[in-house]
Every structure is written in C-alpha cells, then in structure tokens.
Amino acid sequence: MTQSLRIVERTKAFFTEIGDLSFFAGRFFKEVFTRPFEFQELLRQCYYIGNRSLLLVGVTGFILGLVFTLQSRPTLMEFGAESWMPSMVGISIVREIGPVITALICAGRIGSGIGAELGSMRVTEQIDAMEVSGTNPFKYLIVTRITATTLMLPILIVFGDTIALFGSAIVENLKGAVSYQLYFNQVFDAIEYSDVIPATIKSFFFGFAIGLVGCYKGYHCKKGTAGVGEASNSAVVYTSMLLFIIDFIAVFLADIFFEI
Amino acid sequence: MVTMKKTASQKLKLGVFVVVGTLLLIAALYSIGNRQNLFGSNIKIMTQFSNVNGLELGNNVRYSGINVGTVSKIQMIGDNQIVVEMLIQEKIGKHIKKDAVATIGSDGLVGNMIVNIIPRESEKPPVVYGDTINSYSKIGTDDMLTTLNVTNENAALLTADLLKITTEILEGKGTLGLLINDSIMAKDLKLTIYELRKASTGASQAIIELKDIISSISESESIAGVLLSDSISGQKMKTIVNNLEQSSVEITEVSKNLNIVLKDIKEGEGALNYLSNNPDLVKNIDSTMNNIKQGTQRFNQNMEALKHNFLFRGYFKKLEKEKNKGSKN
C-alpha cells in the first residue's frame, strides 16, 4: 500500500515538475520580449557560456574526430571502402555526433554551472533580495542565461564540428595518406543542406534546453548547501535526458521534412 | 575602471568568437551550396529516360568524368517517359555539344546514381538553355539479374546433364566410359599410338626422301623436269591433251553411230541382219560354195579339155608364144 502510494506520489511529482518547467518556459517567452532588456548581462553570459566553453568543446571535438576515424577505419577497410571515410565521418559529425556530444559537454559544464550559481544565489537569498529591491531577478538572471545558451550553443557546435573534422582529417592524412584538400572536398561533396539545416535548428533547441533546465533547477533550489549540489546534479541529469528527447524529435521531423 | 576594461575585453573576445563561428557556418553553407551549383550561373538542359534507376534530385551530373552540375527536376511525362532536368555550370555548357548523350550510372559499386553526359567529337553547336539532349538507357541491375537467373537455370540443367554423363563414364558406359575404364582397350590404344608414332616417323622419313627426290629432279634434263618446268613442252602437252579430248569425243560419237548401226543390223530386216542371223542361209551358202567349188573344178577340167581340142588349140598356142615373147623382152 505504501509502495503504491509512493509511486503515485512520484508520478504526481514528476508531472508537477513537468508542468512547473512548462510554466517556467512560458514565463521566459513572456519576459524575453518585454523591456527592459539586460544586454550587458546577456553579453557577459554569452562570454562565459560561449568563449569559456570553447576550449573544452574544441578539445572534445578534436579527440572525437580522431577517435571516431581511428575506430571506423578498420571496419571500412575490411570492405575496401576507406575512400568513404571522409563522407561517412563528415555526415556523422555534422548531422548527429557533433551537436549531441557538444550539447552533452555543455550540459555538464554550463547546465551544472547555472544550476549551482542560481542555487547558491537562492540559498543565500540573493534572489529574494533582488525581488525586494525591485529588480526583476527572472529577467536579469534567467532570461539572459537561457538566451545566451540558446545563441551560443549553435556557434559552439559549429566550432566543435570543424575541429572534429580537422581531427579526422589529420588521422586520414597520417594513416590513409589522404590530402587535406581531398578530405574536405569529399566531406563537402557528401554534406548537403538537408544535413546542416536540421542540425543547426536542433542546436538552438539544445541550447535552450540546457539553459532552461539549469535555470529552473537553480531558481527552484531547496534550502541548504545540499540543495545547491542537488540542483547542479539534477540539472545535468535532466538536461542530458531532455537533449536525447529533443534529438529524437528533431531526427523524426527532419526525416519528414528533409527526407534524410 | 578595471571592471570596464574587463568588460570591454570580454566583449571583444565574444565578438571574435561569434564572428568566427558565424563565418565558419556561412563558409560551410556556401561550400555546400557551391557544390550543388546553387550559386553562380547555370544553364538548364533536359533529357528523357524510360527508367531513371532511382535517380534523385541533387544527384551529380558528370561530363567526361567531371562533376558539372546537379539534377534539378525529375518529372514523369506519359506512361513511361521521364524528363530529367539538369543544372549545368555555364562555363562547362559551351563544351557540351547538342548531340551529346546522357546515361544514368552509379558512382562506384554502391554509390549514388549519377547522370553521365558522354561527349561527341562533332562540329555541332554547344547546348543552350532549355535544350534536350539524347539519352541512352543502359541495362539495369534488375535486367542483369533476370538474365543471370536464366543463365543460372541453364547452368543447373547443364550441370545435371554433366553429372549424368560423368556418372555413366565412371560406370564404364559408352565409348568414353570404355576409354577411361577398360584397361585392355587402354593397352590397345597405347599400342596403336606406338604404331602410329612409328608410322608417322616412317612417313616423316618418306617425306624427307621425297623432298630429296623432288629437289634432285633437274629442271631440264629429265622428263619430269621438263614436265614440271618447260613451258613450251607444257603447251604442247596441253594441245595433245586437247586433241586427245577431242578425239575421245569423236570416238564416242563414232562408237555411238556404230552402236546405232549394229542395233539396226541386229534388229532391222536388212541383208546384213539376214546374213548374220539366219543359220539356214549359212548352210545354203556353204552348200552353194561347195557347188561352186565342184563347178569350178569341172570347169577347169572342161577348159583343159578345150585346150586339147583342135578348134581352140591354135588360140592357146598363140597366147603362149606372146607370153614367152614378153618375158624375153
């Protein structure tokens, strides 16, 4: 009896959280188009989210390109199809692996950072103080961060894809004696707009999801230092899950509209 | 002041980050678009196929192996005619002549379908916007598989027959079976081959000798040499042979006539037939001849008697004197 009650309670809590998150997103869309606009804070957040994540995304992307190519080479060589490597790696990175891996890295770094930052602000009652002083904390803290993640993630993904392709090109050049020119020629021969456009649109949603969940978890942080850790942790977990759900929906829609 | 400096530096870094990222995206999009001939001037040409073998929009168009454009439209007209519209780079368009032929091929064994434009070395003018070039439909994979299927069926029938034949051979049936399995026959064959070898050695020797004989024939000193080499003698021989031939024709003619005559004699009612065929006549003639012989003897006796008769004695003496006189002279 207690077990079933617990399940009901958890289900109820889950749907309540989904509903709360939806209201939170709705409030964001309401606040984002109304004055005053916090441009300075937006730029600062863009800098911290974009520039500060570039190194991590770049290193991850480079290693991703290297490893992906090294791991795929033997299989393709078995079929005598190593000449297909640039096309295969190019399409895989641009269409799927690049955006998803970059988004997951950013979910770990940015999502947890936002969750912890806002959580600690909530715990130390800074947000309450802002409300008392007449500043709209949602506009200043949430809208800027979600907008920054939404705008910066596509650019980070472009950097991540480019660096990953360079990593792959280096392996192909060293192992397969494929010139860089030939490699990128084959990559751009294989990639089409139907690969780039859905991936780019998808990356905006990834950014939005990272910012939204991170801000939501931090903004609704429970009292105490444990609450900050939980907010940070759950922001990463929920964001990662949400990223895969968005990815599935994006692939599904791209299949309908672009016939990939 | 420090905060402001930091903010300005952050803004610069952010600006560089955003601009570089956006430029990378634009460059990638331009590069992709450029390869699909979305930028730059293109000309549109068309061709018709009855089967496009899975050709899709955006597939490459190649001219002499170079990617020169893309497929921009595939439209069905009529029941089995498909119009394929292609966007070709304008700078390449001037090299494609109006009689160029388009075929549908595959980029590698498992690659995308492509349209190949095969050039023609002619003096025809280059294609212009909206031209339709000829097409040539290669045999499709399905057709190939159908043909292979028939071939496989035939191969199965052939192998079944071969199996039957080889089984019978192994069982020693038929000539081949005997040849393979019969040891006595094998020995005989071996012997025959040995004899054949001997015979061929002899023949070879004989040929060598014959060659020596032929080479030893003098061109002018022997009959054979003359026959083989003298053209005048050859001409004479030819004339002789011709004459012989003519004579044989005449002889044949004569023999024919003789046959007719003999037939007439045999079958006709003339004197000769009577003479040759009637045995009574022979008897009569024989008796007549006997009578004549007897008559002649008696006539001689009479004549002798006349010589001794006084009436004619003077005449006979006179004849004898003239005879003697002639012999003296």
Give chain A's radius of gyration (CA, Å): 21
Residues of chain A positioned with their CB less than 8 A from the CB of B13: 47, 51
Q: Are strands B42-49 and B60-63 parallel, antiparallel or unpaired?
A: unpaired
pLDDT tens by residue, A153-206: 999 999 999 999 999 999 888 887 778 888 888 888 888 888 888 899 999 999
Which of B11, B36, B67 has its CB closest to that of A43? B11
Which of B7, B32, B58 has its CB closest to that of A188? B32
Q: Are strands B42-49 and B132-135 parallel, antiparallel or unpaired?
A: parallel
In angstroms, the CA B227 to CA B214 distance is 13
In angstroms, the CA A142 to CA A154 distance is 19
CA pseudo-torsion sign B127, B133, B134, B140: positive
Q: Are strands B66-77 and B132-135 parallel, antiparallel or unpaired?
A: unpaired
What does the pLDDT read at residue A259?
62
Contact A193 B14 (CB under 8 A): no
Which of A43, A46, A196 has its CB closest to that of B29? A196
Give chain B's radius of gyration (CA, Å): 58
Residues of chain B positioned with their CB less than 8 A from the CB of A156: 21
Instruction: Retrieve residue A147's tokens.
Output: 């907008």
Segment (H or E) for A44: helix A39-46
The verdict on B31 touching A (C-beta cutoff 8 Å) is yes
The verdict on B39 touching A (C-beta cutoff 8 Å) is no
Q: How many CB pairs under 8 A join A and B?
A: 57
The verdict on A16 touching B (C-beta cutoff 8 Å) is no
In angstroms, the CA A84 to CA A82 distance is 5
DSSP-assigned letter for residue A136: -
In angstroms, the CA A95 to CA A202 distance is 10
The verdict on B9 touching A (C-beta cutoff 8 Å) is no
Complex ipTM > 0.90? no
Compute the nearest-CA separation of B82 from chain A (Å): 22
Cα–Cα distance list, A125 to A10, A111, A118, A189, B234 (Å): 28, 21, 10, 55, 141
Note which residues in 73-132 of chain A have CB less than 8 A from chain B.
none
Residues of chain A positioned with their CB less than 8 A from the CB of B36: 192-193
The verdict on B174 touching A (C-beta cutoff 8 Å) is no
CA pseudo-torsion sign B309, B310, B314, B317: positive
In angstroms, the CA B41 to CA B35 distance is 13
In angstroms, the CA A59 to CA A62 distance is 5
By three-state DSSP, how is residue B101 classified?
strand
Compute the nearest-CA separation of B160 from chain A (Å): 35
Mutate to test the interface with B, among A41, A46, A47, A184 (most CBs of B within 10 A): A47
- CA B40 from chain centre, in angstroms, equals 60
Residues 6+ apart with CB under 8 A from A199: A94, A95, A96, A98, A99, A157
Q: Are strands B66-77 and B81-89 parallel, antiparallel or unpaired?
A: antiparallel
The verdict on B28 touching A (C-beta cutoff 8 Å) is yes
pLDDT over threshold 60, residue A128: yes
Segment (H or E) for A239: helix A225-258
In angstroms, the CA B318 to CA B310 distance is 13
Contact of A254 with A198, CB cutoff 8 Å: yes
What does the pLDDT read at residue B221?
62
In angstroms, the CA B286 to CA B118 distance is 113
Contact of A72 with A176, CB cutoff 8 Å: no
Least Cα distance to A88 among A71, A105, A101, A102 occurs for A71
Contact B25 A192 (CB under 8 A): no
Contact B58 A192 (CB under 8 A): yes
Residues 6+ apart with CB under 8 A from A97: A64, A68, A164
Other Cβ atoms less than 10 A from the Cβ of A232: the count is 23
User: What mean pLDDT is predicted for residues A82-106?
Assistant: 90
pLDDT 10s per residue in chain B (329 long)?
Answer: 344 455 778 778 888 888 888 888 888 888 888 777 777 788 889 998 888 888 888 788 888 888 888 888 888 888 888 999 988 888 888 888 888 889 888 876 666 788 888 887 777 888 888 888 888 877 666 777 888 889 999 999 999 999 988 888 888 777 777 777 777 877 888 888 899 999 999 998 999 888 887 777 655 566 666 666 677 777 888 888 898 989 889 998 988 888 888 888 777 777 777 777 777 877 888 888 899 999 889 988 888 888 888 777 788 888 888 888 888 76
Which of B24, B28, B35 has its CB closest to that of A189? B35
What does the pLDDT read at residue A210?
92
What does the pLDDT read at residue B2?
41
Region at A259 (left for phi over 0; alpha for psi -120 to 50; beta for the rest): left
Least Cα distance to A216 among A16, A10, A22 occurs for A22
